[in-house]
Structure 1
Amino acid sequence: MKLNYIFIFLGVGVMAVMLFQTVDREFKLHNVKAGLVMTSEEVKKKEEDIANLKTKIKGLKESLSTINSKMDTLRMKQEVALKGTKDQETKLEACNKQKADIVKKRTDIESASVKLHIDHQATKTKAQQEIQSLKQQILDRDKAICAFADTTNEQARKLCGII
């Protein structure tokens, strides 16, 4: 009988241990299920966040593509402007060369004009001196003629200045 009590006591002990393990596993299983539900909710939340981020990224890509196209057009405009600026600079250089040539020709013409003016003045003074000397010679000749001329003749009086 004692053996029966020992077996009963051992059977109840084993059952108590098994009952305790079963209850413990049930609690752990319940916690795992609750954790799984929470994890699945977090996964769904993160998936929604990822979907939202994907739409935002798509919108940003679209805006980036429009900005890139605008930048391309601006670069093309800049290239055109730079090309126009270079063309204008070459035209300006050519114009400045022409201006320098014209200024050089102008100074040459002015110096030639001044030289001609000086030559003209010198020639003019020489001509006036020559005219004066010729007038003096004519007056001397007329005086010499008046000395021999007949003062009764009207032409001779005009020539000699006699009234």
Structure 2
Amino acid sequence: MMDKIIFTSVEPNLHSRVLKPQRTRWVENMEKLVRDHSNSIKEVLRMRGMSAMIVLALCALLIITYQAVKQELNIRNLQTRIVVSGEQVRFKEDGIMSAKTKVDEITKKLSALTTQRDQLKKQRDDFKKGTDASDKELGTCKTEKGTLEKKSNEAKEALNKLKGDQDAEKKKAEEEIQGLKRSILERDVNICKFVDITMEESKKLCAIAL
């Protein structure tokens, strides 16, 4: 502003003429400083922009690297899971095969047990039939036993009755024999009163009677 006033002054003086070159150099220096400062600012701004771009690029690179590492870790984790799943599948397949083998063994044992059960059932049925036949025979035997016991009791009663009759007849016969003996003895005694006891036969007869 002062330069313009100085250069546009209507009446230039000596002092202004002397100071004009100095002011011009000063202005040029100032302009140069301003330009240098502006260039420095532009350079700083450019450097800051480049730094910001570098930082952004580094951030983007870090993000990309992080994503790549994360994906790699995920891929490895998936591969590990696939391997573990494969091992688990093989383990489960082995378990299924072992269980199938055990089921087959149990089925064979059950078949043998079923056969034994059928045999035992048949034996039980046969035993039941035999038991029924035995019960029937036992009933028949009991009936026959009852009949035989009845006949035996009747025979015992008849035998006891016959024995009683025989005892009565025996007693009666003994009484009759005793009566006959007494009669004979009395007859012999009466005869001995009238016979000669000196004779041998008379002596024997009278010895028995007396």
What's the TM-score, normalizing by structure 1?
0.71
Q: In structure 2, do the counterparts of structure 1 residues 17 and 109 end up closer, same or farther at CA, with 3 Å as the change threshold?
A: same
Structure with larger Rg: 2
> Which residue of 66, 70, 74 maps to 1:17?
70
Where does residue 86 of structure 1 map in the other structure?
139
CA distance in 1, matches of 2:95, 2:114: 28
For 1:56, the equivalent position in structure 2 comes to: 109
Partners in 2 of 1:74 and 1:94 — Cα distance? 29
| Superimposed CA distance per residue, residues 15-53 of structure 1 (whole angstroms, 9 cap, x where no aligned partner) | 111111111121112111111111112112211211221
Does residue 108 (structure 1) correspond to residue 157 (structure 2)? The answer is: no
Q: Distance in 1 between matches of 2:67 and 2:175?
A: 152
Q: For residue 30 of structure 1, what is the aligned residue in structure 2?
A: 83
Which letter maps to 1:54? T
Which of 124, 131, 136 in structure 2 is aligned with 1:71? 124
3-state SS in 2 of match to 1:119: helix
Change in Cα spacing, 1:13 to 1:90, as seen in structure 2 (3 Å) is: same
Amino acid at match of 1:75: K
Corresponding residue pairs, total: 138
TM-score (normalizing by structure 2): 0.56
* Gapped regions of structure 1 (runs ≥ 5): 141-163
* Cα distance in structure 2, aligned partners of 1:62 and 1:8: 78
Partner AA of 2:58 in structure 1: Y
How many Å apart are 1:124 and its aligned residue? 5.0
Alpha carbons of 1:124 and 1:30: their partners in 2 closer, same or farther (altered >3 Å)? closer
Shift of 1:65: 0.5
Residues 10/96 of structure 1: CA separation in 2 closer, same or farther (3 Å cut):
same
Q: CA RMSD in A?
A: 2.8
